[in-house]
Amino acid sequence: MRYPVVLHNIEHAGFGAIAPDLPHCHCHAETLDDTLQKMAETMFQRLEDLRLAGQPMPRPQAVDTLRENPAFAGGIWAIIDVASA
């Protein structure tokens, strides 16, 4: 599935990323590339945890809908395609 991710540049600390549709799915790394890679791995693990727990996979929302949330203001949006095992 393709999930939207919002990234924020954290002054002097790299980047933080959140997958709004996947509860408790966030990460941090020093570079944008490292953050995207780490986020893809974190999302894969979160989806795998949900699958093993017998829980449904959350449906991704549209980025336009998520942008309306003030908590994501100023963020950089990306889409990460994650295949659950």
Summarised one tens digit per residue, pLDDT across range 16-64 is 999 999 989 999 999 999 999 999 999 999 999 999 999 999 999 999 9
| Strand blocks (E) in the chain | 2-10, 14-18, 26-29, 76-81
Q: Would you say residue 6 has pLDDT above 80?
A: yes
Q: What pLDDT sits at residue 13?
A: 85
- Sign of dihedral through CA atoms 41, 34, 81, 77? positive
Domains of the chain, each with CATH number or no CATH: 2-81 (3.30.160.250)
